[in-house]
Amino acid sequence: MLFREIPGQARIKQRLIQSVRENRVSHAQLFLGPEGSGKLAMALAYAQYINCRNRTTEDSCGTCPTCNKFSKLIHPDLHFLYPINKTKELDDKKVTHKDFIITWREFLIENGSYVTLPNWYDKIGIEKKQGMISAEDADSVNHTLAYKAYEAEYKVMIIWMVEKMNNQAANKLLKNLEEPPDKTLFILVSENHDQVISTIISRTQLVKFTKLADNEIFENLKAHFEFPVDSLSNIALQSEGNYTAAKDLVELSLNNAESTDTEKDRFLILRDWMRRIYVYGAKQKEYDSLQEIIAKLVGDGSREKQKEMLAYSLKILRLCMQYHIGNHQLVKYSGEELDFISKFSAFIHPRNIRQIDEEINKAIFHIERNANANIIFTDLSHIIARLIKIPAVAHNKKM
Ligand SMILES: [Zn+2]
């Protein structure tokens, strides 16, 4: 990872680079900040920069053998700890973080190192359990760090989500945090200051990350994705300084645009959902009928599918709005879909589309973060029922 690949956080980059150039790298640092602020990406860029053989005053070279291995996360002096738990495949043995290292590297590379805990649990298949960093894993760190670096100047140990470490595990690490072996760098990454064990906090130097600015997110999305600028600008606003969430929203829309196999199923569910919302809005007694369709939206509980359904709904409702204002040529559908879009466009217009857009994206955001899908779809249905009652044209006020 190069510093220039990381959105924003200019002040932190400068401070880290300076510490290396002035040869005063602090041996144990805690990168603390909200999701999507770039803590893990920064930890990787820092580890690479310290060890790059041709670094400049601004960044790693990106091409030396060290950079090469760091970018693939396979450098022998780059170590990781992350929360884990037993999985279906690894149920009958004691699992350690080493069982997951290949999956971990793949996970970071797939996501450009902008990742969330729920996504990691999904990736290793422990969706319904909590991950943790065990005393055994902490012990193995001590063992690893007891040896000299293989080829780098600094051995680097990145502990992701250090708040998932219990007391017992933390105690095993304390001595090394206090007096690390020579040329060893600990970078602890956390999103919850209150949950990190205080003896760890007191032994680390704090590097505090803040949310990104909307324009930092927008510029980076624009540089990485071929996508309409208007939509990117909306997504940047809706992601509230969280680059991970912003990237997820764009990727979801892109995937949705490509897949066609289940699109018909989604259409039928969406049409049914909107019809029932419409009836529900008219007659408050239709609550049971609404719950029936919500069960279909929740489906088998897969968050991925729920998010895809929401992204699809958003796409179609945006088309309803285009149809409403006369841009019929943008609606590249025929048959039942076109029939639905043209009819439902009576209810979707410039006076409510922004809010509908916002609410659906909010729902995606919450599903991503493990909230109860039933409640989310129920709330969203109530909100849409209200929004589609907003008249397309403002009632004239008295002259
Ligand atoms: Zn290099």
Taking 90 as the threshold, does the pLDDT of residue 228 lie above it? no
Contact present, 277 and 288 (Cβ < 8 Å): no
Ligand 1 centre to CA of 148 (Å) is: 21
pTM of the model: 0.74
Residue 399 is predicted with a pLDDT of 43
Domains, the chain, with CATH or none:
3-208 (3.40.50.300), 259-387 (1.20.272)
Ligand 1 centre to CA of 348 (Å) is: 53
Ligand 1 centre to CA of 62 (Å) is: 5
Ligand 1 centre to CA of 51 (Å) is: 7
Distances (CA, A) of 386 to 213, 278, 282: 32, 9, 10
Ligand 1 centre to CA of 65 (Å) is: 7
pLDDT tens column, 302-355: 888 899 899 999 999 999 999 999 999 888 777 888 999 999 999 999 999 999
Distance from chain centroid for Cα 358: 18
The pLDDT-based confidence of 53 (bands split at 50, 70, 90) is: very high
Name the phi and psi angles at 294, rounded to 5: -65, -35
Ligand 1 centre to CA of 10 (Å) is: 20
Pick from 399, 378, 231, 198: nearest CA to 295: 378
Ligand 1 centre to CA of 63 (Å) is: 5
Residue 256 is predicted with a pLDDT of 64
pLDDT tens column, 160-202: 999 999 999 999 999 889 888 889 999 999 999 999 999 999 9
The number of residues making up the chain comes to 399
Neighbours of ion ligand 1 (CB under 5 A): 52, 60-61, 64, 67
